[in-house]
Structure 1
Amino acid sequence: MSLLNLIDVDYSVGGPLLLDGVNLAIEAGERIALIGRNGAGKSTLLRLIDGTLQPDDGEVRRADGARVARLEQEVPAGASGDVWDVVAGGLGELGAWLAEFHHLSHADVVDTDALARVQSRIEATDGWALDQRVTETLERLGLDGDAVFDRLSGGMKRRVLLARALVAGPDILLLDEPTNHLDIEAIDWLEGFLKAWPGALVFITHDRRFLRSLATRIVEIDRGQLTSWPGDWANYVRRREERLNAEAQEQARFDKLLAQEEVWIRQGIKARRTRDEGRVRRLEQMRVERGQRRELQGNVRMAMAQSDASGRKVIEAKGLGFAHGDQVLVQGLDLTIMRGDRIGLIGPNGSGKTTLLKLLLGELAPARGEVKQGSNLQVAYFDQYRATLREDWNALENVAEGRDRVEVGGGSKHVIGYLQDFLFTPERARAPITRLSGGERNRLLLAKLFAQPSNLLVMDEPTNDLDVETLELLEELLADYPGTLLLVSHDRDFIDNVVTSTLVMEGGGRVGEYVGGYGDWLRQRPVPVAAATATATATATAPAPAVTPVATAPVPAAPARRKLSYKDARELDALPARIEAMESRLSELTAAMSEPDFYQRDAASAAAHASELGEVQAALDEAYTRWGELEDSGG
């Protein structure tokens, strides 16, 4: 029996139905990727599934006792307090009591009367099992319950909110753009975690590698309709293209027939005397059908303003160093960027990627070393926080800046027409940008950016909130960009498809330079870096019950090496083989969980499988830690 069914559901926000008579069944254990153009109704569908919204017509039918939890796209405004409080909040009123008990029992001076009152409430609702569940969930996700939520990074906040969704023990977990604001290591960790999670999963993502890794089924929203495809991205792309071609041919045939019938109905008096009334009725029905047709939304058409070429040497850095307080972000960096280079910056959140960009652009003075910029540089900057958009201007004013026309693609274009290339209708172009969605704001920022002549393009997280079609067009545009590109992104496919070399923030101020994209870096990185990021690499192919992200704090001075004992030396020699065996077993366990019939097994078998997977992952983490200890000790 399905966990949840949508039956002939309609939903509208004005204009054509956002969802038009859709049907969807969610089965236990499956992982559904929900895709579609920006504004197609993906987030709306998640809200209908969790009951936040009610359909205009049709029914959302849940199995008895089926629980649903949703991780929202943005951090809720009201989320505050300790991490323990935020996570317990996923349990509703009981969670509030548990949080109160947690604070009272950890206070320096215990209020015994208040503690007794809240304890009696918890006992009356058999709440202690849920208290243990909060603790286990925090441990499982590697979270400190006493940490202050507001002081966490964006990525760690997302992890806390995931814990909040999981603590209710949902049968269906809904994730809206879960990789936004996560660095690559955290995305790898999340992939592994969700692969091991036994419940049903429905998620929205623009990260194609994340989608390919997780999805067992792809559900597309297109012009109000849902279409289900097997969870193979390449197969989906091919079959969707075939469907659209067939649809275009059928519509062309229909339009030709309609045109012929319109000619017939307008013939002279003699023809009207002998007119077939049945044919007239068919024509009237065809007119209605044509009027109700919903056209496929067009693609963004991107073109860049042209600029004179920069000098051959764009930027040169020598002995570059910078620290933020006690944290060394860049140390002793020598770097030469030549015209036409397309360079990606990779590293954990907080490791200094944006700081390095500002140092190279001269926006920040280095603590040590020097930066020289080449001649005739024209810089266009895409800011991940969209700070270059003025909130008191509409979309048209943000791009036009007092002009009527923009120079793009070697020609002049009216600003309204230019914005239509980025899917802004004239009405939408004049609307306040406070009403724009995240995807629309990103498209607007791209439109503003590409209207500026440039020969050095700097893009800091440009892929958030963009649909896949727009991402692919952006990749093509950047591949043909004649100038120099500096790109910060956590989208692994985007990096691989765009850049020719990468700079990697390796911690302790080290910045490694590698040929190629993310996948090339994985193959080239030296053993010390691999050990430092072992957690992320292991979880890219296998799930982890709890993983600590790569540290970005400065690496302390190495202690004096000592000679290893005979026992430790033998242990160090044996570790590579042990690690290889454990990684092989993890791959086998993960592959088994990806089989379609895995969740049709009995519950005990599935639980034993998941338990073994968690044990192997924990042992692997411990082995990597031990390897690092022995290496540091003199191995």
Structure 2
Amino acid sequence: MPLIRLDNISIAFGAKPLLDQVNFQIEPGERVALVGLNGAGKSTLLKLIGGHHKADSGEFWVSPTCRIAELPQAMPAADERKVRDVVTEGLQDIRALREAYDQLASAENTDMRKLEELQHEIEAVDGWHLEQRVQRVIEQLELPGDKLMSELSGGWRRRAALGAALVQQPDLLLLDEPTNHLDIETIEWLEQQLMEFKGGLLIISHDRSLVDRLATRIVELDRGILTSFPGSYSAYLELKQKLLEEEEKHNAEFDKKLAQEERWIRQGIKARRTRNEGRVRALKKMRNERADRRERSGKAKFALEEAARSGKLVAELQSVSLAYGERYLFKDFDFTLQRGDRVGLIGPNGAGKSSLLSVLLGKQEPDSGNVRIGTNLKIAYFDQLRAQIDPEKTVMDNIAEGRESITVNGRTRHLISYLNDFMFAPERARTPVKALSGGETNRVLLAKLFSQPANLLVLDEPTNDLDIETLELLEEIILDFDGTILLVSHDRSFLDNVVTSTLVFESNGGLCEYVGGYNDWLRQRPKIAAPAPKREKNEVPPANEARESSGNDSKAAPKKKKLSYKLQRELDELPGKLEDAEAKLEILQEETSAADFYQQNHESVNEKLAELHKQEGIVEELMERWVELEAMQEGE
């Protein structure tokens, strides 16, 4: 039986229907990703399911036993509440029942019948064990229960909000852009928590890596219609492209036939004498069908205004250090940025990525070291805090700066036409920025950014709130850009697709450069300094490759300590054992990620999950033993 069902649901704001007689349901254990352009109505659908909106028509049904919880898009406030209290707020209804029971029980003239009713209600929702439920979630998410929210980073506050949702033990969890403003480490943690969640998921996210890994089904909201695509996001992209091509072909054939019929009806007396009344009625029906056709929303089609080339050297850092209080953000860092480089910055929130950008651009002096800035630099800076945008002004006024037209790459256009490329209709272009969605505000910033000639593009979290189609177009624009790019992003797919090297903030002020994007860094990073990444099947462990050095290199390499026969044999056998263990783990992960996994009987599910947990422990033990033996061999 489904958890929820929508039958012929319609919702419209003004003349534009966001949901047009939609039919949709979610089964237990499904992980559904909801995709669509900004403004298509995705958040409206989530609010309908969460009980915050009512449909104009149709029926919305929820299973009587289904509990729905939400992880809101907004970050929890950094206030003086304890983390434990934030998690407990997820059980407000149970807490209200307990308070009512305590109040009634302590009254002078207790209504025993009412007291008994409250007791049954509390027992029905396991309300007497409220504190234990909160403590279990705090331990599961490794939350600092007694710390204040004001003491935590944004990522930890997001964890607390997830705790408030999970403590409700929901059957269906709703998530609206849960990865916004989170660093990669926290995103991966959240991803793993959601993989292990046993209920149903409905998620809106622009993070393609997260969607591709989590989703068992993609549901697209396009022009008021919901279309379901079984499988991963990658499979959805292929099928969607075919459907768009078929739709375009069908519309072209329809329009051609309509044009022929319109020519026929306008013919002279001879044609009117032989006019077929059935054909006239068919033409009228075709006209109505064409009028009712909802065209696909336009895609953004912006382009960068490129300046003259900069000098070959963009920036050079020599033994540069910068500290915040007693903590080094980076120390004795050497780096050369040359024209045409595309460099990504990876690190936790607060690691110092924005500070490094300021040093590279000459806006901030380091504590020590030398900085040399190149010549003829024209910088376009995308600021994640949107400081360049005045929320009180309209979209046009923010871009215009006293102009009625704008010149991009030698082509002069009216401002309204230019903003149309960023998906702003004339009436939307005259709207104050404060009334826009997050994705629309980011498009305003891109419109302002790309109207300025630039040969150095600095992007600080440009992907937040953008729909996936606009995000992919932004990738294409950046790839066609001939200048230099500095990119701070927690979007793993975006980094992989755009950058050619990455600067990674590591522990104790370490800042290292790696060739390639995010996944390239995972393959290259030191295995002892960081958890080993998951390897593809049959891939030789990097440490094993390190042992296979040539004779020419042996003189330069430090002499390795000889292990005992028993330990050496164990070390030689470990790569094969590790490969077999990871292959078994991968099979178990695929089985437990299947859409129908949780529809099995309870005992089978628990048995398989226990097997998965055991196999994860085996892989971890083998990896730790391998690192330990390698360290012994190196004489550490």
How does the TM-score come out when normalised to structure 2?
Answer: 0.86
Aligned AA for 1:171?
Answer: D
Q: Does 1:602 align with 2:601?
A: yes
Q: Give the Cα separation in 2 of the matches to 1:366 and 1:333.
A: 11
- 1:619–1:390 CA distance, 2 compared to 1 (3 A): farther
Deviation at 1:205, TM superposition (A): 1.1
Kept in 2, the 8 Å contact 1:85–1:96? The answer is no
Q: Does 1:163 align with 2:160?
A: no
Kept in 2, the 8 Å contact 1:41–1:221? The answer is yes
Deviation at 1:597, TM superposition (A): 4.1
Aligned AA for 1:282?
Answer: A
User: Where does 1:157-236 land on structure 2 (aligned, <5 Å)?
Assistant: 157-236=157-236
Encode CA deviations 1:469-512: one digit per residue, 9 max, x unaligned.
11111111111111110001111111111111110001211111
Q: Give the Cα separation in 2 of the matches to 1:629 and 1:444.
A: 53
- 1:331–1:77 CA distance, 2 compared to 1 (3 A): closer
Q: Give the Cα separation in 2 of the matches to 1:628 and 1:507.
A: 19
Q: Give the Cα separation in 1 of the matches to 2:24 and 2:90.
A: 26
Deviation at 1:286, TM superposition (A): 1.7
Aligned AA for 1:89?
Answer: E
Q: Give the Cα separation in 2 of the matches to 1:397 and 1:499.
A: 33
User: Where does 1:55-94 land on structure 2 (aligned, <5 Å)?
Assistant: 55-75=55-75, 81-94=81-94
- 1:293–1:265 CA distance, 2 compared to 1 (3 A): same
Deviation at 1:624, TM superposition (A): 7.3
Match in the other structure for 2:128: 128
Aligned AA for 1:588?
Answer: I
Match in the other structure for 1:549: none
Q: Give the Cα separation in 2 of the matches to 1:298 and 1:275.
A: 39
Match in the other structure for 2:499: 499
Deviation at 1:76, TM superposition (A): 5.3
Kept in 2, the 8 Å contact 1:457–1:485? The answer is yes
Q: Give the Cα separation in 2 of the matches to 1:540 and 1:80.
A: 46
Q: What SS does the corresponding residue of 1:125 show, helix, strand or coil? A: helix
Match in the other structure for 2:381: 381
Deviation at 1:599, TM superposition (A): 2.5
Q: What SS does the corresponding residue of 2:529 show, helix, strand or coil? A: helix
Deviation at 1:233, TM superposition (A): 2.5
Q: Give the Cα separation in 2 of the matches to 1:539 and 1:210.
A: 18
Deviation at 1:345, TM superposition (A): 0.5
Encode CA deviations 1:163-215: one digit per residue, 9 max, x unaligned.
11111111111111111112111222222221121111111111111111111
Kept in 2, the 8 Å contact 1:85–1:99? The answer is no
Match in the other structure for 1:515: 515
Encode CA deviations 1:28-73: one digit per residue, 9 max, x unaligned.
1111111111111111111111221111111111112111111121
User: Where does 1:16-27 land on structure 2 (aligned, <5 Å)?
Assistant: 16-27=16-27
Q: Give the Cα separation in 1 of the matches to 2:98 and 2:508.
A: 40
Q: Give the Cα separation in 2 of the matches to 1:78 and 1:98.
A: 28
User: Where does 1:287-436 land on structure 2 (aligned, <5 Å)?
Assistant: 287-436=287-436
Match in the other structure for 2:6: 6
- 1:79–1:25 CA distance, 2 compared to 1 (3 A): farther
Kept in 1, the 8 Å contact 2:77–2:149? The answer is no
Q: Give the Cα separation in 2 of the matches to 1:146 and 1:357.
A: 35
Kept in 1, the 8 Å contact 2:32–2:215? The answer is yes
Q: Give the Cα separation in 1 of the matches to 2:596 and 2:16.
A: 39
Q: What SS does the corresponding residue of 2:528 show, helix, strand or coil? A: helix
Aligned AA for 1:502?
Answer: T
Q: Give the Cα separation in 1 of the matches to 2:88 and 2:447.
A: 42
Q: Give the Cα separation in 2 of the matches to 1:233 and 1:56.
A: 31
Encode CA deviations 1:381-434: one digit per residue, 9 max, x unaligned.
101111211112111111111122222133222221111000001111110001
Q: Name the stretch that deviates more: 625-634 or 259-268.
A: 625-634
Encode CA deviations 1:80-111: one digit per residue, 9 max, x unaligned.
6111111111112434688999xxxxxxxxxx
Deviation at 1:524, TM superposition (A): 1.1
Q: Give the Cα separation in 2 of the matches to 1:201 and 1:283.
A: 46
User: Where does 1:24-35 land on structure 2 (aligned, <5 Å)?
Assistant: 24-35=24-35
Aligned AA for 2:12?
Answer: S
Q: What SS does the corresponding residue of 2:155 show, helix, strand or coil? A: helix
- 1:354–1:437 CA distance, 2 compared to 1 (3 A): same
Kept in 2, the 8 Å contact 1:174–1:203? The answer is yes
Match in the other structure for 2:148: 148
Q: Give the Cα separation in 1 of the matches to 2:56 and 2:626.
A: 59
Q: Give the Cα separation in 2 of the matches to 1:125 and 1:498.
A: 54
Q: Give the Cα separation in 2 of the matches to 1:609 and 1:238.
A: 33
Q: Give the Cα separation in 2 of the matches to 1:122 and 1:154.
A: 39
- 1:173–1:122 CA distance, 2 compared to 1 (3 A): same
Q: Name the stretch that deviates more: 360-369 or 309-318.
A: 360-369
Q: Give the Cα separation in 2 of the matches to 1:218 and 1:496.
A: 22
Superposition RMSD in Å: 3.2
Aligned AA for 1:220?
Answer: E
Q: What SS does the corresponding residue of 2:375 show, helix, strand or coil? A: coil
Match in the other structure for 2:557: none
Q: What SS does the corresponding residue of 2:70 show, helix, strand or coil? A: strand
Q: Does 1:283 align with 2:280?
A: no
Q: How many residues were matched structurally?
A: 592
Aligned AA for 2:211?
Answer: L
Q: Give the Cα separation in 2 of the matches to 1:156 and 1:25.
A: 33
Kept in 2, the 8 Å contact 1:575–1:627? The answer is no
Q: Give the Cα separation in 2 of the matches to 1:218 and 1:433.
A: 31
Match in the other structure for 1:593: 592
Kept in 2, the 8 Å contact 1:188–1:539? The answer is no
- 1:194–1:538 CA distance, 2 compared to 1 (3 A): farther
Q: Name the stretch that deviates more: 194-203 or 263-272.
A: 263-272
Q: Which runs of 5+ in 1 are unaligned?
A: 102-112, 542-562
Deviation at 1:151, TM superposition (A): 3.2
Q: What SS does the corresponding residue of 2:397 show, helix, strand or coil? A: helix
Q: Does 1:253 align with 2:253?
A: yes
Q: Give the Cα separation in 2 of the matches to 1:335 and 1:222.
A: 46
Kept in 2, the 8 Å contact 1:495–1:518? The answer is yes
Q: What SS does the corresponding residue of 2:5 show, helix, strand or coil? A: strand
User: Where does 1:490-569 land on structure 2 (aligned, <5 Å)?
Assistant: 490-531=490-531, 537=533
- 1:144–1:627 CA distance, 2 compared to 1 (3 A): farther
Kept in 2, the 8 Å contact 1:84–1:99? The answer is no
- 1:342–1:47 CA distance, 2 compared to 1 (3 A): same
Q: Name the stretch that deviates more: 620-629 or 159-168.
A: 620-629
Kept in 2, the 8 Å contact 1:86–1:164? The answer is yes
How does the TM-score come out when normalised to structure 1?
Answer: 0.86
Q: Give the Cα separation in 2 of the matches to 1:351 and 1:574.
A: 38
